[in-house]
Amino acid sequence: MKQKILLLAVFLVIALGLTGCSLPFGKKSLAALQVTTTPQATVFIDGEHRGTTPFFNEELKPGEYTLKLVPESGEVLLSPWESRVSLSKSVLTVVNRTFGASEDESAGEMLTLEATSNKKQAEIVLVSRPDGAVVSLDGEPRGFAPMNLSDITEGDHFIIVSLPGYQEREIKAKTIMGYRLVISVQLGIEPVPEMAEDGEATPSAEEATPSAKTTITITPSPTPKTSAEITDELERPFVEIDSPDIGWVRVRKNPCIADGDPECEEIAKANHGERYQLLDTDEAGWYQIQYDISTQGWISGRYAEKYE
């Protein structure tokens, strides 16, 4: 399943003379906070009920707060979220959250700005949970999180954060000269649909509260291989799939730097614990395997143990 959320985070900062900055709303000595969630949630700041999402407040004092979001999930029990949030004067901090049944199935991002000493440069700092997510900026792969990009042009940018076994996040953000855009992204685990005896996904496999901005595609669990296709007595080198949490790993046509690249389309799934002949490796940590008699493909080395 792939979830694509488009988040517009426009930070409007206006220079005043030679020093300082100000939001185009409120007082320049105050901070602003914007919170959006799927589904709707109750907002608590330092334990005080402040309303429901979508939430916006431009009259907060700069400082560190405890932000808690409790989803209004109805019959479906969803996991609440709580985090420390640092608010800076004259800066809008944006929090976006998609709730899941557990913390691992939930996802979201937090974006804010930090002033830098170089007024002629824009920067992006991105951290991900879990670490090592693939980051693409404006359609170009830029490496793995955590990362610090200092060669960024001012203006609108499109960021994709992805990791095998997790739901992809898409973020549209604006950078400004003299500021560092700090993005903290949490990726949610791709849920594996429950399969009925007839092989069809049961209704519980679908997300309880998908939003209009979320595209959901249910992917069936991989079919176990027959003994003719896999053996425990492979000659070295071989790899063993190590993905106990998800239960499988994607097999790609080519090594994949960013999801969406037609050259690295998914061709199969390999189950946890299965072994495959190792054919090749690349510098980015991808392994080429003999998936079956007629099919070769690439898997991420993060989800396999290599035996040479």
Neighbours of 220 (CB within 10 A): 13
CA triplet 221, 289, 241: central angle to 5 degrees? 50
DSSP 8-state code for residue 200: P
Helix (H, G, I), strand (E, B) or coil at 263: helix
> Exposure pattern of 165-182 as b/e (b: 16+ CB <10 Å)?
bbbbbbbebbbbbbbbbb
Q: Give the pLDDT of residue 258.
A: 57
Sorted by sequence, the CB contacts under 8 Å of residue 155 that are 6+ apart come out as 174, 175
- pTM (two decimals): 0.58
**Is the confidence at residue 98, as pLDDT, over 90?**
yes
**Is the confidence at residue 101, as pLDDT, over 60?**
yes
Domain boundaries, the chain: 6-186, 225-307
Residue-wise pLDDT for 31-47, tens only, equals 999 999 999 999 999 99
The dotted CATH code for 225-307 is 2.30.30.40
**Is the confidence at residue 267, as pLDDT, over 50?**
yes
| Mean pLDDT value of segment 20-26 | 38
